[in-house]
Amino acid sequence: MIYLDSAATSLRKPVSVERAVLQAMRGMASPGRGGHEAALRAAETVYACREEAAALFHVSDPSRIVFTLNATHALNIALRSLVRPGMRVLISGYEHNAVTRPLHALGAEILVAGRRLFSPDTLLDEWESALGQAELAVCTQVSNVFGYILPIDRIAALCREKGVKLVVDASQAAGILPVEMDALGAAFIAMPGHKGLLGPQGTGLLLCGEEGEPLLYGGSGAESRLQTMPGDLPEHLEAGTQNVCGIAGLLAGLRYVRGQGTAHIFAHEQKLLSAARSQLGQSGAELFCGPEGTQSGVLSLRYPGLDCEELAARLAERGVCVRAGLHCAPLAHESAGTLDTGTLRLSFSPFLSEGELREGLGILLGAAES
């Protein structure tokens, strides 16, 4: 199997991640639910994961790292904490349904600016103009469809200048690009654990610049007499038993990422991206590529007259894993002009070799001709 779908889930993990999950299953109970060794071991692991995330993402206080089920869960907490019906919320033209669906459900008035693909300067001009009308801003750091790297540092600076709170969706950036809470000054930053952070599915993080409002209510292992959620983070936003096994695996993933360094991981993906562009350049495919520095290790493409879903099915039969369609981001496809066809998306990981990529692309070329 040749796995080219890491933007959906990192299938290949460090061995340390698998080992950590298994050790947690065998020896950890629930933090805050007892003073025995198994509960204390779980509490130590959970806190160590907060510390590791705080160090990687430049969060001054580990208690402001909240565990979630995924980025969607994290974004729902953030948006339900800030959005009121009728609020004018500015977003980019490349947001995921994890942003747009909660905004619609909350009755927000959605303003969209920055639809031109791989054009950060145009986006900044449009955002600077639109921020005067906005009460909140939400922006992805990297498009999950096209790998378009949005200029999040400059967007955050504009938001601070205009006094508009910012929520960042770092789903495709965390573990690959710098994500710095203290520099961005965002209200919240959301991310999954199972993509670039190389943790298990069912894990996510919400970095909290603000206190936030609980999405769920229930046991927290602290202040049990209260019939409201505890007032302090992280317990204020973490109801119920935590995914200790997943958090143990996420801790190992975070340690791997910090050990390798995001610059090293990004450089590897850039090398793979360049190789893919070169090998597919004369194939008749329409490649969605940006100038150097504006695209992560994600490449969308389509062949004229060939259905993307059909091509993905052919590849699956030949052992190549990709994703096709709208990728839960119809707004991004609308912005790029691919809403009617979708795209075939290739996405890379630190564990994909150039040899595997060349083999997979050769199979892709053959499948497109058959």
Mean pLDDT of the chain: 97
- CB-based contact 32:43 (threshold 8 Å): yes
In this structure, what token pair is assigned to residue 355? 């040899």
| DSSP-based three-state secondary structure for 2 | strand
At residue 136, the pLDDT reads 98
Structure confidence by residue, pLDDT tens digits, 93-125: 999 999 999 999 999 999 999 999 999 999 999
Query: What single-letter amino acid sits at 221?
Result: G
Helix, strand, coil percentages for the chain (3-state, nearest 5): 45, 15, 40
- Sequence-distant (6+) residues with CB within 8 A of 101 are none
pLDDT above 80 (res 221): no
What confidence category does residue 34 fall into, taking pLDDT thresholds of 50, 70 and 90?
confident
Phi-psi region of 80 (alpha: psi -120 to 50; beta: other; left: phi over 0): alpha
* Fold observed for domain 15-260: Aspartate Aminotransferase; domain 2 (3.40.640)
pLDDT at 225: 85
Q: Using pLDDT thresholds of 50, 70 and 90, give the confidence band for residue 38.
A: very high
Query: Is 160 exposed, middle or buried, given 0-12, 13-18 or 19+ CB atoms closer than 10 A?
Result: middle
Structure confidence by residue, pLDDT tens digits, 296-322 = 999 999 999 999 999 999 999 999 999
CA dist list (Å): 284 to 247, 279, 288, 306: 44, 11, 13, 11
pLDDT band at 58 (very low <50, low <70, confident <90, very high): very high
Confidence of residue 145 (pLDDT cuts 50, 70, 90): very high
Query: What confidence score (pLDDT) does residue 175 get?
Result: 98
Q: For residue 245, count other CB atoms closer than 10 A to its CB.
A: 21
Task: Assess whether pLDDT exceeds 90 at residue 227.
Answer: no
Residue count of the chain, please give it: 370
Percentage of the chain lying above the pLDDT 90 cut = 93
Q: What is the CATH number of domain 2-11+261-369?
A: 3.90.1150.10
Q: What does the pLDDT read at residue 331?
A: 98
User: 346 by DSSP, 3-state: which?
Assistant: strand
Q: List the beta strands (DSSP E) in 233-369.
A: 286-288, 298-302, 320-321, 323-325, 343-347
| pTM of the shown model | 0.97
Q: Are 68 and 75 in contact (CB under 8 A)?
A: no
pLDDT of residue 162: 97
Q: Would you say residue 220 has pLDDT above 80? A: no
| Domain ranges across the chain | 2-11+261-369, 15-260
Strands 323-325 vs 343-347: parallel, antiparallel or unpaired: antiparallel
